[in-house]
Structure 1
Amino acid sequence: MDRAELGAFLRSRRERIGPADVGLRAGPRRRTPGLRREEVAALAFISTEYYTRLEQARAPRPSREVLAGLARALRLSDAERDHLHRLADAPPIPAPGPPREVRRSVLDLVHRLPGAAVLVTSATLEVLAWNELAAALMEDFSALPRRDRNLARRVFLGPLTEGRRLYGVSDADAFARRAARRLRTAAVRYPDDPEVTGLIRELREGSEEFARLWAAHDVAAEPALTKTFRHPLVGSVTVDCDALEVTDRDQHVVIYTAVPGSPSEQALRLLSVIGTQRMTTPG
């Protein structure tokens, strides 16, 4: 426990909050910036003496209950709450499961890139959001039940597309390795989440490849720079692949773009017109 840093951190967070922020009256004689120590103590349901000793680096290690009360009283963000726990040598309790709600600003970004195929994936590679071009290039995710939107389940357990897995993408084997590594990270972050443990158990039992990759215990990143989709209507579509990390949600925004002026860019433009419909010839 770093008592000095803990005390300094608590003091800095206390001084940035005004009384009105927590429903208190400022009063005419307030000289202390932010909240008073006794006000924080009251909001956290601890004694003023103990809180004062915490700021002065003289108190014993606070319990998780005290840390939770301080985080609530000081209106700490998720990152600040984690930092508080680490300063107190009490690692935060893991989140119950991977966040599935996509922030509004991220959703807006997904739909503001009409020339790119964009999707958002969770820590377990569930497709959470997508734009129309991503659906046309890969699959109409809106027509699938939630469990079938998981790319890890799809790459290891199928189904196949024209004899190829994962939409006929050229780097399916490399993606499978990345998926196993990402799921191992998710298993550490969300050890008590039944969906995470259930997905891993399903893949280990249903896929010899996944069982082998899981046993390797690899966690190093393996970036994908380009890949080629084999699309049933427009043929091969080669795209650059960029992934932006949304750290506070443990999500990735995956962006597929084609080289300007290339046949693949023309194919994406055609897909943007076709959408998710399938053209057939009347019999």
Structure 2
Amino acid sequence: MDITIACIGSGNMGGALMKGAADIVGARNIGYADADKAKAEAAAKALGAGVYASNIIAAQKGDYIFLAVKPQVLQAVLEEIAPIIQDRLAENRPPIVVSMAAGWTIAKIQAGLGPKVKELKVKEPKVKELKVPVIRIMPNTPALISKGVIVMAPSPEVPPEKTAELEKILAAAGIVDRLDEKYLDAVTGLSGSGPAFVYLFIEALADGGVRTGLPRDKALRYAAQTVLGSAAMVLETGRHPGELKDMVTSPGGTTIAGVAALENGAFRGTVMQAVEAAWKRSAELG
């Protein structure tokens, strides 16, 4: 693909997506921009990509501009690149802005990239303002090993062919699904934050193995493979997790005793509360 990708921010999540994108568009067509120049240079060197001297240059060059920065600093980045984006919009060559910032709605991003009132030079106040094409995404960290979940919601200004193109680019990092934007905060709570919850569970499983006498390295390996295999069973068989659980729980056996202990500890309710807490925090960040 003859596409240029500018990634503003060079953290783990941006790096994970750029690693996958490099397989599709080529690393030479990817460039990083970051306030921490050394960090951008390190990410670019690892990938074989380039480095932009500033966010402004990145905004000038990218066909797709990835905003891979924390929600708390996104406002400052938008204010910095807004004039460039507006110039490109006026010249009828707008970039596609791709944001992965939790909580930041498409409308808020478009407002941040729009012209300031004092900059508007129109006599008629009813003149329709052109909006920047924005695609909001929520990826998760397993994208680092091409096993991620990336959910995307495009604004109406994004041409369908561009949405499909980005979908192909992101697919190198994991499964890609389109969803109405109103669900993105819930996605953040589930698949965005979910890996951390799963890591805690794997660690707890391993600790349980150690407590009952297993060597630490063996317990961790068995726990991780157990979670991996169980997830594959859900995806590959299409069976409900409850049905698969029942296949393991023999009457009066070891597994049902363990399940009872989990239920006594409100395991399922606690996990649900964790997803809900992350969902609420995502909305707050916006």
Normalising by structure 1, what TM-score?
0.26
More helix by share: 2
Normalising by structure 2, what TM-score?
0.26
User: Whose Rg is larger?
Assistant: 1
